[in-house]
Structure 1
Amino acid sequence: MSRPQFVLEADDTEDQRLRSSELPRYSEDSIDELALDRSVFEKDERFRDEGKMEQGEEEEDEFLYGKVPSRKQPRKPFIALLLIILALAALIGIFSARSFKAPTWIKKGGNKHITMDHVFNGTFAIKSKRIDWVKEATDGVYSHRTDEGDIVLQDASKPDYEEVLLNATDVREATGNQLMFQDWRLSADMRYVALKTDHRKLWRHSSYGNFYIHRLSDHKTFSLRLPSHPAEIAYVDWSPTSHSIAYVYKNNLYVVPAKDLDKLETAGQVPEAIQVTKDGSDTIFNGVPDWVYEEEVFSNNFAFWWSPQSEIIAYLRSDETEVKDYTLQYYNPNGAAFDPQPYPENFVMKYPKPGTPNPIVTVHMFSLQGHLASASAKNSTKQLQWEGSMPLDKRIIAEVSWLGSEELLVKEVDRSAKKGNIVLFTGGRAQGKVVRTLGKEGEEGDDGWIDHNQQAIPVKGTDGYLDIVPTKDGYNHIAFFPTLDSSDPIFVTEGEWEVADGIAGVDQNRKLVYFLAASPTTERHLYQARLPSTGALDDFASNMTALTDTSVPGYHSASFSPRSGFYLLNYLGPDIPKQTLVTVDEPGLDVVIEDNAKLNATSSEFCMPIRTHSVIQSDGVDINVVETLPPNFEASGRKKYPVLLNPYGGPGSQSVNQKFARDWSHHLVCEHKIIVLTVDGRGTGFKGRSFRNWVRDDLGRYETIDQINAAKEWAKRRYIDNKRIGIWGWSFGGFLTSKVIEADSGIFTLGTFFATVTNWLYYDSIYTERYMSTPEENELGYVNSAVNNVTAFEHADFLLAHGSGDDNVHYANTANLLEKFTQAQVRGFRFRMFTDSDHSMSGFRAYREVYEFMTAFLDEKWSGNRKVHD
């Protein structure tokens, strides 16, 4: 069942400064007049803090009504009053029918107030269970860890079945002391468990640990390597068959063959390992990504891949010797503010910025089978090459995927993500050939960017594979390539919507592929689609079936068992999240393994905000919007509400969705009666390439226009106090907030921004050049995207903050903006530096303090109740 959409036309006649052609921009002749400051970003992530907060009393009067003079209502005849009431009722009815979508979770709540304590102390925490499907067992068997620390096996087809695989008390050091492990991974043949201790975080996805191998047959525990303090093993991974194990230690790749694990007899013994690489160092990485590849390409902590039969390992070698250094200073390195160290600690990291050298990345293969036959790691290792490859210093290796026991696919793109190749290697040979072309002259067919995704999956029983490819209309869909060297795919899915989050599962026996559809764009529904038959490719037509209820709003994710006979369905909203184990052949056997009953009961006690999804138009383009309204909301205009926009807005991201949430914005809505508006403008995800490509080489222009046009539309609504319209954001959202204030539209009177990019020359090369091209190619674009028109900030109340230890969006961004304020004599704003805090500002209790800081600022500027200390 389709749901109505309320389409609004932005007023193009009001305030001509907002028109696309008249935002602050610079010509080629004016470039030299500006300082080309050297320039940030990250994915849309939300961080949680476990701190506690004082309960605040509701201050409704000035927040809700603003400082509006009271008026006497003139007396009117009863009939006239009745006619007015009827007319208003009709208007409100029409408005509601067009704009209001009542998600299923909107129901009568309780009377408890959502305080800052509730936001940060876990009151609304969502519980979820981790399960790990066990490949070698019967399909549907999975492992998970109990609250006592044991690892148990369960069977999705037998709800009452449970077998203790590993008793935590059996895991002991050679001394007999119990080992307390933080993470585990079961070998493919279920004979060994790898256990991680002494976890030491590095970057967003990476960490170090000491690893132990526990043999289940005799309950003996062995060290993978002699433990070190601090721990230095970066990553371990079992082979897909048997129980060989590979790991990275001090940036070198090692492999322990299964037979050498079996030789171990005495607890505490260390297995003999094959050292695959020997040149690992602080600047050369084997089998793990350097900082920029971890952050911007793979979004994980590994860069080696076992072949399906466990005979070959493909791995990346990254040489960042020529990458320029960036020094982070830690002023309070021991975390003891009242016991200071006289000198800060310097941490030097390699951080490539636009136009500067990137790491040199090459792809290699190590043949474990060949090594065991020749006993020479050197002779068993090959560097992969191909005719027509891009220069090493001009390319990004964006994907490495095994399609068979000796068939490997590699994706390379240029720095600007405009050109790319898919390269095929067969027979375990080091020489490959280009089989697909990417970019404007290839599969994308436009001037946008090539996504750095890893999506290719082989289809057993065929000579082909599946990948996510844009259709000629620019929507990402599942495509079947009938042969490994084919460049002409058959689309398994199609339509003006997009497949989200890659391919969820493939059932080789039933010839089905499972995926999540962003249809409608703010939702995620699970579907299955029929795979083409190799004997009837010419007659194939897309055939899809929804597996979740598409007649009501829903946001889902799914994890499939190895043979896709079962899956864990995660319902993430808009109602209270839950997890269900689903049996494909027998839906009646579905088992809810987490219903978040406690959260459901807790939520029912609190005041409930109202969320309405709608679509507006900005420059004739449809834009998704979600408005969060306070309980007992009055649309009549008698009460005037302030509105705070909260964009993220980065390329390919999505903030307007149907996920369940209870966060700081709900505190603002319920307690301060501030309406929160989230707008996914041009450039954001899941609406096709043409929608995203607006921002190519021009970050901050159209995203800004869309936020301003949305604010203008809301300013016309009778229930909005158009003197109290603000905007806030973090990371890319902070960049967008600063660009909105810079635009000086006359609409926004307040802005707050955190960990903000202020010049793209300060951010990392791979992210920035993907969307902005290189500075050499797009000099003017970099100038226009920077925050330069700082005098506009005099026309708004604003606040900004940054962590001095931010390794992602460097503090230099904010430092540069502050210097521009000084030179332009911009005064009266608020600023805080959070000492040693990273991009999330989560350390040293800073994260909650950020929100206290911002709440107090809103309170002062919009209600006058208390003063923020300068």
Structure 2
Amino acid sequence: MKYKLYPFVFFLMSLVVAAQQNITVESIYRGRFRTQDMDELQALKKSNQYTVLNYNGSALTTQINLYDFATLQKKATIIDTKDHIGMPMIDSYVFDSNEKMLLLACNSSQVYRHSFTADYYLYDLSNKQITKLFDFQIQEPTFSPDGKKIAFARDNNLFVYDIASKNTIQITKDGVKNAVINGICDWVYEEEFAFVRAFDWSKDSKKIAYIRFDESQVPEVSMPVYGESLYPQMLTFKYPKAGEKNSEVSLHIFDINSQQTQKVNLSNYSDFYIARMQWTNDANVLSAQVLNRHQDNLDLLFIDGTTAGAKVVLNEKDKAYIDVTDNLTFLKDNSFIWTSEKDGFNHIYYYDKNGKLKNQVTKGNWEITSFYGLDEKTNTLFYQSTENGSINRAIYKIGLKGNNKVALSNGTGTYEATFSTDFSYFIQTFSSASQPTTYTLNETKSGKELKVIENNTALSSSLKSFNLPQKEFFVLKTEKGNELNAWILKPKDFDANKKYSVFMTQYSGPGSQQVANTWNTIDDYWYMMLAQQGYIVVCVDGRGTGFKGAAFKKVTQLQLGKYEVEDQIDAAKTIGNYTYVDKNRIGIFGWSYGGFMASNCILKGNDIFKMAIAVAPVTNWRFYDSVYTERYMHTPQENAGGYDDNSPINFAKQLKGKYLLIHGSADDNVHLQNTMQMMSALIQANKQFESQIYPDCNHGIYGGMTRIQLFNKITNFIHENL
């Protein structure tokens, strides 16, 4: 049936169009679309309560507030910085085990991605007294389990501070910048094993175990820091590239009373990593996870705290590699929970204290994505998984024997949980591509929602005026038969009879996921802005990405960039055949690994892609770090072809389309060397391209107006070339 549109209808339609707001780069990166979140949410262990850090931006003060899980009622303000003259804003905080004292980090100064130094204040909750610990910044201060001492790192050495006497003893004295580090990870461990604090207290507070890094033989990287001074300063640090010398690591146990140190006997290993270490619930048993350099063999060691002797209690091998996690959890009797991909999907396993498998707790063609903990009173485990589809996350509980499984979330999207100490309640965090982040109080027995804490209705309401396009999730099947998760954004005035340019975005790194049913990232609003401007935006997770099983993820082993690039090219071909797509106007974008991919796509898919934008790309895997690169590629000495056949730098002569290279000059992760040598290769191949270097910016390229200038530049490049 057709309706006749009268003039007043056209008038009303024009008002609707006029009322629609357009997204701008400035509005995105000035925080216009930020959600309301529960910052620094921590569940207390001694009571059914939780704490949240609240910022007062106008007054430049911070509060740590205490709430009751059962009622959500605010019980107290633990500390408000406005009540303490000269007190800086709190960046983060940690309780002692008795929850009677707090360590407050202020004036944090970033070192690398995760590490920082800070001024630390000790706050006594009983008498409201606050004490600045030192007149210098320290790293990773950690309460002893009895709450009487604090271990910390400074200038590559370890120390112990006695709270009562205020005396400090020095555990190590050989720490030297760019030579020896005690108790804090070196650059590559921090970046690729994702931890900073490499020391831990025994449960009886009598010993401290720590990893010592001898990086004296590791090659150095130097980069200029320009600043505003007359001469640039040089930043020099140790960075082991693929196939080069790593830090020599050793494990040590320091006795607080005798002040003596023992070295753990790891003489059976050579060229190895200590990927994790922690004391078990037995005060005399230390655990350590030792990986070989290929990262395809992992030993879980139990180490005697008196003799420093080590024994293997669990061994895992993999044809490709083993992902290290933080899911190792010890029960009261020192039996333990472990997660593994050994049956093809990541699942929970239960072992006795001697490393004998008691049972596999979870099974199925889906993945455990977070382990939340175990209620030992009821022998019930709590976890997050992909049981509701690989792009979704759901919360479950299950008996330790693998029985009585109950879903605690009941919708489609991304659910997370923070449980109370007795597991009777949890704060549920939910979002989806159509629902901003919502926090609710739920009871654990059935998962029933009891009360809404925050649902970001103000943001939802304000977004209505933008008339945003909605992500459509689908499975893209390539001509080769590969089924890949994908989403597409179409202009709101989409007309199937028109031909549109397509802008593809991706990351594609091993185990990653960009196609996820969760609320918008900041960059999602930029994609929506492009859709408002008439582009179709598509994201495809190719082979090698995560959460679809080990076989899908690990197919890329020894040849990073082969199958991932093939899948992006094949996806572009499939999309190009859509009736509403102009197959001659397809572009691709990516950052870091995604920049590596975008570069390869414009070169190896030069008949498919009209343009590409690569931000901070790896252009030669020989330039990247040892731990990451060798996990997937082994060393260049062992696998030269795998490196050379998939590094963009070797295919510069194949460039046909428009190419924009972007990098920060102070990128300590993917070094500017990657882009500089890519430029040299393009120049020598007599290829025209565009580039932008951001002075003193690291891998994230941000600060001040930087992100706004960056994304305006990228947007203009798209307009001009797609």
Task: Please report the TM-score for the alignment, with normalisation by the length of structure 1.
Answer: 0.77
Paired residue type of 2:102: V
Q: Which residue of 2 aligns with 1:568?
A: 427
Q: Which residue of 2 aligns with 1:553?
A: 412
Q: Which residue of 2 aligns with 1:577?
A: 437
Q: Which residue of 2 aligns with 1:724?
A: 585
1:492 aligned to which of 343, 361, 381: 361
Shift of 1:458: 1.2
Paired residue type of 2:320: G
Q: What is the aligned length? A: 696
Q: 1:131 to 1:796 in 2, by over 3 A?
A: closer
Cα deviation code 1:356-394 (max 9, x no counterpart): 1101111222233xx1xxxx31x2x2222246x321xx1
Q: 1:427 to 1:798 in 2, by over 3 A?
A: closer
2:397 aligned to which of 507, 528, 542: 528
Cα deviation code 1:268-294 (max 9, x no counterpart): xxx102222121221211121111111
Q: Which residue of 2 aligns with 1:330?
A: 225
Shift of 1:845: 2.5
Shift of 1:817: 0.8
Q: Return the alpha-carbon distance in structure 2 between the equivalents of residues 601 and 797 of structure 1.
A: 40
CA contact (8 A) 1:649 1:732 kept: yes
Shift of 1:489: 5.1
Q: 1:589 to 1:715 in 2, by over 3 A?
A: closer
CA contact (8 A) 2:559 2:633 kept: yes
Q: Which residue of 2 aligns with 1:222?
A: 131
SS of structure 2 residue aligned to 1:632:
coil
CA contact (8 A) 1:615 1:625 kept: yes
Q: Which residue of 2 aligns with 1:267?
A: none
SS of structure 2 residue aligned to 1:801:
strand
Shift of 1:395: 0.8
Q: Which residue of 1 aligns with 2:12?
A: none
Q: Which residue of 2 aligns with 1:111?
A: 20
Paired residue type of 2:712: E
SS of structure 2 residue aligned to 1:480:
strand
Q: Does 1:362 align with 2:250?
A: yes
Q: Does 1:858 align with 2:722?
A: no
Paired residue type of 2:499: K
Q: Does 1:476 align with 2:346?
A: yes
Shift of 1:677: 0.9
Q: Which residue of 1 aligns with 2:265?
A: 385
Cα deviation code 1:755-784 (max 9, x no counterpart): 010001101111111111011211111111
Q: Which residue of 2 aligns with 1:262?
A: 164
Q: 1:844 to 1:835 in 2, by over 3 A?
A: farther
Q: Which residue of 2 aligns with 1:277?
A: 172
1:292 aligned to which of 188, 196, 201: 188
Runs (5+) with no aligned partner, structure 2: 3-16
Q: Return the alpha-carbon distance in structure 2 between the equivalents of residues 644 and 141 of structure 1.
A: 44
Shift of 1:222: 2.5
Q: Return the alpha-carbon distance in structure 2 between the equivalents of residues 751 and 622 of structure 1.
A: 24
Shift of 1:727: 0.5
Q: Return the alpha-carbon distance in structure 2 between the equivalents of residues 320 and 815 of structure 1.
A: 27
Shift of 1:664: 4.4
Q: 1:565 to 1:287 in 2, by over 3 A?
A: farther
Q: Does 1:244 align with 2:149?
A: yes
Q: Return the alpha-carbon distance in structure 1 between the equivalents of residues 286 and 654 of structure 2.
A: 54
Q: Where do residues 649-798 of structure 1 align in structure 2 (5 Å cutoff)?
A: 649-661=508-520, 663-787=524-648, 788-793=650-655, 795-798=656-659
Cα deviation code 1:153-179 (max 9, x no counterpart): 22111333412323434535xxxx445
Q: Which residue of 1 aligns with 2:9?
A: none
2:100 aligned to which of 155, 178, 191: 191
Q: 1:131 to 1:759 in 2, by over 3 A?
A: closer
Q: Return the alpha-carbon distance in structure 2 between the equivalents of residues 358 and 303 of structure 1.
A: 17
Q: State the percentage of identical aligned residues.
A: 30
Shift of 1:692: 1.4
Q: Which residue of 2 aligns with 1:349?
A: 237
CA contact (8 A) 1:607 1:670 kept: no
CA contact (8 A) 1:151 1:166 kept: yes
Shift of 1:660: 1.1
Paired residue type of 2:181: F
Shift of 1:249: 1.5
SS of structure 1 residue aligned to 2:313:
strand
SS of structure 2 residue aligned to 1:435:
strand
CA contact (8 A) 1:151 1:164 kept: yes
Shift of 1:678: 0.7
Higher normalized contact order (CA 8 Å, seq sep 6+, divided by chain length): 1
Cα deviation code 1:136-169 (max 9, x no counterpart): 5323343544645233322111333412323434
Q: Which residue of 2 aligns with 1:506?
A: 374
Which one is further off, 280-289 or 691-700? 280-289
Q: 1:136 to 1:756 in 2, by over 3 A?
A: closer
Paired residue type of 1:768: T
Shift of 1:746: 1.4
Q: 1:161 to 1:465 in 2, by over 3 A?
A: same
Q: Which residue of 2 aligns with 1:396?
A: 273
1:593 aligned to which of 434, 440, 453: 453
CA contact (8 A) 2:103 2:123 kept: yes
Q: Return the alpha-carbon distance in structure 1 between the equivalents of residues 449 and 693 of structure 2.
A: 54
Q: Where do residues 830-869 of structure 1 align in structure 2 (5 Å cutoff)?
A: 830-843=690-703, 845-862=705-722
Shift of 1:797: 1.4
Q: Does 1:456 align with 2:335?
A: no
Q: Which residue of 2 aligns with 1:643?
A: 502
CA contact (8 A) 1:566 1:584 kept: yes
Paired residue type of 1:499: I
Shift of 1:435: 2.0
CA contact (8 A) 2:22 2:529 kept: no
Runs (5+) with no aligned partner, structure 1: 1-77, 82-107, 264-270, 335-340, 533-540, 863-870
CA contact (8 A) 1:171 1:220 kept: no
Paired residue type of 1:125: R
SS of structure 2 residue aligned to 1:400:
strand
CA contact (8 A) 1:354 1:775 kept: yes
Shift of 1:585: 4.4
1:130 aligned to which of 39, 52, 64: 39
Q: 1:328 to 1:385 in 2, by over 3 A?
A: same
SS of structure 1 residue aligned to 2:527:
helix
Cα deviation code 1:95-123 (max 9, x no counterpart): xxxxxxxxxxxxx9972222222222211
Q: Return the alpha-carbon distance in structure 2 between the equivalents of residues 838 and 463 of structure 1.
A: 43
Q: 1:140 to 1:509 in 2, by over 3 A?
A: farther
Q: 1:180 to 1:758 in 2, by over 3 A?
A: closer
Cα deviation code 1:461-508 (max 9, x no counterpart): x45110111243x10101111x1222435211110011113x112111
Q: Return the alpha-carbon distance in structure 1 between the equivalents of residues 536 and 33 of structure 2.
A: 20
Shift of 1:328: 0.8
Q: Which residue of 2 aligns with 1:16?
A: none
Cα deviation code 1:818-869 (max 9, x no counterpart): 1111111112x2111111211111135222222111111111123xxxxxxx
Shift of 1:647: 1.0
Q: Return the alpha-carbon distance in structure 1 between the equivalents of residues 446 and 88 of structure 2.
A: 41
CA contact (8 A) 2:291 2:298 kept: yes
Q: Which residue of 2 aligns with 1:171?
A: 84
Q: Return the alpha-carbon distance in structure 1 between the equivalents of residues 541 and 373 of structure 2.
A: 29
Paired residue type of 2:474: S
Paired residue type of 2:516: N
Q: Does 1:162 align with 2:40?
A: no
Q: 1:191 to 1:170 in 2, by over 3 A?
A: farther
